[in-house]
Structure 1
Amino acid sequence: MQEPLLGAEGPDYDTFPEKPPPSPGDRARVGTLQNKRVFLATFAAVLGNFSFGYALVYTSPVIPALERSLDPDLHLTKSQASWFGSVFTLGAAAGGLSAMILNDLLGRKLSIMFSAVPSAAGYALMAGAHGLWMLLLGRTLTGFAGGLTAACIPVYVSEIAPPGVRGALGATPQLMAVFGSLSLYALGLLLPWRWLAVAGEAPVLIMILLLSFMPNSPRFLLSRGRDEEALRALAWLRGTDVDVHWEFEQIQDNVRRQSSRVSWAEARAPHVCRPITVALLMRLLQQLTGITPILVYLQSIFDSTAVLLPPKDDAAIVGAVRLLSVLIAALTMDLAGRKVLLFVSAAIMFAANLTLGLYIHFGPRPLSPNSTAGLESESWGDLAQPLAAPAGYLTLVPLLATMLFIMGYAMGWGPITWLLMSEVLPLRARGVASGLCVLASWLTAFVLTKSFLPVVSTFGLQVPFFFFAAICLVSLVFTGCCVPETKGRSLEQIESFFRTGRRSFLR
């Protein structure tokens, strides 16, 4: 039987002692969605994730187009293509670093709105690019905006969502990022690369407009001593027919206990460093599964393997599967729990990466690889490996395995990693720690994305997929040993539980 979160006593664990516990009916009213406005506030915020997902995979159709470009100022070599694909992650790392300051200085909402400035500027630079430097700077700026929103949006959503639907709403950042990627793949079939950048401006402008009318996080407002404004924000989010005073008192009590920012000495305390370590390692493992280089070079990967369908069509199909999988995760996260989905997700990704690696190593190769988009040099490889035209059912393996990988990632390690980061981090360190997690995540993504093409050229396309498969096994072990189950628990309950030091929570 699962231990209750509340009820233990001790010097560091005395949760809301001055107030009698509310009745089950009161708890249900607080934990259940009563007002559609919280959906509107969530949608306004996660438009930033839509732009992030759109910008992340922008290179998938653009790199092949620029490698075929007749304009010498825009023609990309393989080395330049690797920088164009990977510099986004450097910008995202810088955005995560800035979030460590802006998240607590400006607040969650204003930080999200601020991200629109570099995002809009980056898209404008790429749309009007006349040289490589404009492309790289545009990618860096959109990456900066993506890293900033990646740290701020999950925290904002988790702080405004009722516990009963926090899992579903917590999946919306990843859902919108996936929808943004799918939109890019679909538009890439219709629009030239400059107009793809122009189209990226639209969600940024809509986000700014909608967020202007949304409240800030009640927890952030309380941490700044703006109690009346925080109460109004909570009442707006929950609805006028709901008594929010009990929930407000919970949040207020928790904020008062943590009125000062965490010091480095306090950061070494188990109740602070343990959740930060869990969140940080989850973000690192999430990237090491290979998601970013696979998405960035998706069309190029298909160009370099014997595939039945045109690579552009394959990329769009994979984007659609990714969107469907995140929808499934959003609907089941508050029913099945976080850990179950993480186990299933890692197992599926392991099978998919292993299958891709084995197919590339032993399967057929294209008769004439695309010289502009192919990932491997033509001289590489086992000369005895059979050459085959992209025909027959066997050539569906790369598409099916990639679909399986994306499905596994999108139903577990994609959305849940973002959600758990915002759930387990202590309030006093939430702004800084979330920025630290995003910084480490995107530095890892940069290393993987920048080294992907050189590793493929030197050792072969199958080697990265074998490495990603091994990381998926490590993720399975980490989930079983270290990841807590947070389903149905308020942020204050989760934080109080980490303070007890009881290891039963991590089982």
Structure 2
Amino acid sequence: MVKEQRDVERGTTDDGKYRERDTEPLIEKDVVGGNTEGSISISLLSTAVAVLGSFQYGLCIGYSSPTQSGIINELNLSLSEFSLFGSFLTVGAMIGAITCGKLTDYLGRKRAMGFSSVFCLFGWFAIYFAGSSIWLDLGRLFGGVGIGVFSYVVPVFVAEISPANLRGTLTAINQVMICGGVASVYIIGLFVTWRRLTILGIVPCLILLLGLFFIPDSPRWLAKVGNTDMCKSSLQRLRGRDADISNELAEIQEYIQTVNTLPRSRLRDLFQRRYSRTLIVGVGLMLLQQFGGVNAVNFYASETFISAGFSSGSLGTISLGVIQVLFTIIGSLLMDKSGRRSLLMISASGSCLGTFLAGLSFFFTGQGIFLDWASMLALVGIVVYIGSFAIGIGGIPWVIMSEIFPINIKGIGGSMVTLSNWAASWIVTFGFNFLMDWSCSGTFFIFSAVSGFTILFIFKMVPETKGRTLEEIQTELNS
């Protein structure tokens, strides 16, 4: 704790504290503002409601894995028809990514989450009642649109409502819930039919829609649209009834006034020199996250675990999901202690090592040497990669994305970053089989090289945002 520095008269009161010239008592503050009598219970509740959208994201991503044989057998689909069903999620997500910025700026953060929930609900019901591939594909497309918006609005909303000293941890819960959704659908999918598994997606959507009635909208968005009274009310609820929000409120309003002097933002404005570093950091982290091969590694994990001695690929996949959840939780707890940059550097270094070990194992197998060690080396490499990815590079780029864009271009910038992520994901997923046909070891060595370049990128370009207000971060990057 530190005491706020003020110009005060000499002398003390009976309780030993200085008084200002206007005789108001000096208020003890923490390092990010707000007095010690505040409460973050509403911030925590709001975060809990919002990250149900992240859980939904994970459920949608993982749904096709445990349901493949059931859907194909019951609806008499070919493998190519099922692959098309799976791909529609990414197509929908790219549509959602294109629209998410404008939608979130126009409707507000809360309404955008409600919009996403409705799309996901329609998608799950379409899949549940599907009697043909058409309804399956339509449901998958609508679910993709929903999670495309969720992938942007959830971290932005949580970042905008969180106290600066907890923003990293609370925003990182986004990635924890994504991994939790994937792990949940993998595990429960072993015991229920593909139709009943859709209920696991429907329930969180309904809870989220109900929860939105009990939480405030982002005070920064409310300030941006000129609703000063609601901005103040929202911030007071988020910081606690007795908290002193005057400094934080003044900082938000001052920053919004500065932003409002700027012309209405358009796509080309995003490419102005003043925003160049912000755009490079946001898009660069997303591209490097995906080109590091996470989706490809997850795709190949089942066969890798079988070759390493596991009794079934599903057991290996579940283990992978559990590892992701565990290390993502560790990363979220460390983020506001160690900082974003250091965790990203550690994460990228581990990812580089893990994919290098996996590539080395494939090289040994291809050369017919060290065969007794090759499968175990692949297992170690995959575990090291997934754990390292989850602790930092998996979630922190979304945290930083939510922090670095000034509010006047946050919608456009967020759409660009989110679209970059989903487009890169599609490229890697589509090209993985071709790369593996070319060279298994070479594929993983490429992933390792990308992670190595990520270390240099973070060192040169990515700022440390730990413990700083959004306004401080954005002023430094974009001035």
* Alignment partners' CA distance in 2, 1:265 and 1:93: 20
Q: How far 1:65 moved relative to its partner?
A: 4.7
Check whether the contact 1:308–1:396 (CA below 8 A) recurs between aligned residues: no
Deviation of the 1:87 alpha carbon = 2.8
Residues 299-318 of structure 1 correspond to what in structure 2 (within 5 A)? 299=302, 302=305, 305-318=307-320
State the AA in 2 paired with 1:284.
L
Classify 1:97/1:198 alpha carbon distance in 2 versus 1 (closer, same or farther; 3 Å): same
Aligned residue for 1:468? Answer: 447
* Counterpart Cα distance in 2 of 1:320 and 1:224: 42
Give 1:24 deviation, angstroms.
Answer: 7.0
Question: Number of matched residues?
Answer: 451
Counterpart residue number, 1:261: 264
Question: Does the C-alpha gap of structure 1 residues 133 and 60 become closer, same or farther in structure 2, counting only changes over 3 Å?
Answer: same
CA distance change for structure 1 residues 397 and 194 in 2, over 3 Å: closer, same or farther? farther
The equivalent residue for 2:344 is 342
Query: Which residue of structure 2 lines up, in the alignment, with residue 208 of structure 1?
Result: 209
Contact 2:33 2:248 in 1 (8 A): no
Please, which of 274, 287, 290 is the counterpart of residue 277 of structure 2? 274
Alpha-carbon contact 1:74-1:132 (below 8 Å) kept: no
CA change 1:217–1:301 in 2 (3 A) is: same
Per the normalisation by structure 2, the TM-score is 0.88
Name structure 1 gaps, 5 residues minimum: 1-21, 364-381, 501-507
Equivalent of residue 29 in structure 2, options 11, 22, 25: 25
1:451 aligned to 2:431? Answer: yes
Distance of aligned partners of 1:494 and 1:226 in 2 relative to their CA distance in 1, 3 Å threshold: same
Provide the C-alpha distance between the structure 2 equivalents of 1:277 and 1:255, rounded to a whole number of angstroms: 24
1:461-490 Cα distance to aligned partner (Å, 9 max, x none): 444322211211111110111011111110
Amino acid paired to 1:403: V
**1:351 maps to which residue?**
353
Counterpart CA distance in 2 for 1:88 and 1:265 is: 29
Q: Pick the aligned partner of 1:38 from 37, 43, 47.
A: 43
Q: Would the aligned equivalents of 1:104 and 1:431 in 2 still touch at CA under 8 Å?
A: yes
Q: CA deviation at 1:396?
A: 4.3
The DSSP-based 3-state class of the residue aligned with 1:164 is coil
**Match for 2:362: what amino acid?**
I
* Aligned: 1:292 with 2:295: yes
Residues 408-417 or 307-316, more deviating = 307-316
Q: Which amino acid aligns with 1:145?
A: G
1:279-325 CA-partner distances (Å, limit 9, x unpaired): 0111111111112233356436546x453231111111111111111
Cα distance between partner residues in 2 of 1:162 and 1:479: 25
Q: Aligned equivalents of 1:123 and 1:92: distance in 2?
A: 15
- In structure 2, what is the Cα distance between the partners aligned to 1:461 and 1:197? 35
Conserved 8 A contact 2:119-2:146: yes
**Pair 1:395–1:335, CA change in 2 (3 A):** same
1:231-279 C-alpha deviation (Å, 9 max, x unpaired): 0000000001101111111001111111253245653443323212210
The answer as to 2:421 corresponding to 1:420 is no
- Give the direction of change, closer, same or farther, for the CA distance of 1:452–1:62 in structure 2 (3 Å limit): farther
Q: Cα distance, 1:110 vs. partner?
A: 0.7
- Deviation string 1:41-68 (CA, Å, 9 cap, x unpaired) is 00100100001011112222223555xx
CA contact (8 A) 1:51 1:203 kept: yes
Q: CA shift at 1:395, angstroms?
A: 4.0
Unaligned runs of 5+ in 2: 1-25
Alpha-carbon distance between aligned partners in 1 of 2:158 and 2:434, rounded to the nearest angstrom: 39
> What amino acid is the match of 2:284?
L
Checking the alignment, whether the CA contact within 8 Å between 2:27 and 2:35 is kept in structure 1 is no
Matches within 5 A, 1:43-62: 43-62=48-67
Aligned match of 1:4: none
| 165-174 vs 260-269, greater mean Cα deviation | 260-269
Change (3 A) 1:190 1:273: same
Instruction: Tell me whether 1:487 sits opposite 2:466 in the alignment.
Output: yes
Question: In the alignment, residue 253 of structure 2 is paired with which amino acid?
Answer: Q
Task: Provide closer, same or farther for how the CA distance between residues 356 and 84 of structure 1 changes in structure 2, counting only shifts above 3 A.
Answer: farther
2-structure distance, mates of 1:257, 1:112: 28
Does residue 402 (structure 1) correspond to residue 382 (structure 2)? The answer is: yes
Give the drift of 1:205.
1.0
Residue 121 (structure 1) shift: 1.6
Calculate percent identity across the aligned residue pairs: 31
Cα pair distance change 1:205/1:461, threshold 3 Å: farther
Find the aligned partners of 2:441 and 2:188 in 1 and give their Cα distance. Answer: 30
Q: Give matches, 1:146-165, under 5 Å.
A: 146-165=147-166
Q: Deviations over 1:140-178 (max 9, x none)?
A: 221211110111111101000010101111101111111
Secondary structure of the 2:165 match is: helix
Distance 1:269 1:24, change over 3 A: farther
Structure-1 separation of matches of 2:302 and 2:67 = 10
Give yes or no for contact 1:86–1:450 (8 Å, CA) kept in 2: no
The alpha-carbon distance between structure 1 residues 436 and 266, as it changes in their structure 2 partners (threshold 3 A), is closer
Alignment of 1:2-21 (within 5 A): none
Given the two structures, how large is their TM-score scaled by the length of structure 1? 0.83
4+ runs deviating over 6 angstroms: none
Contact residue 188 and residue 196 of structure 1 kept, 8 A: yes
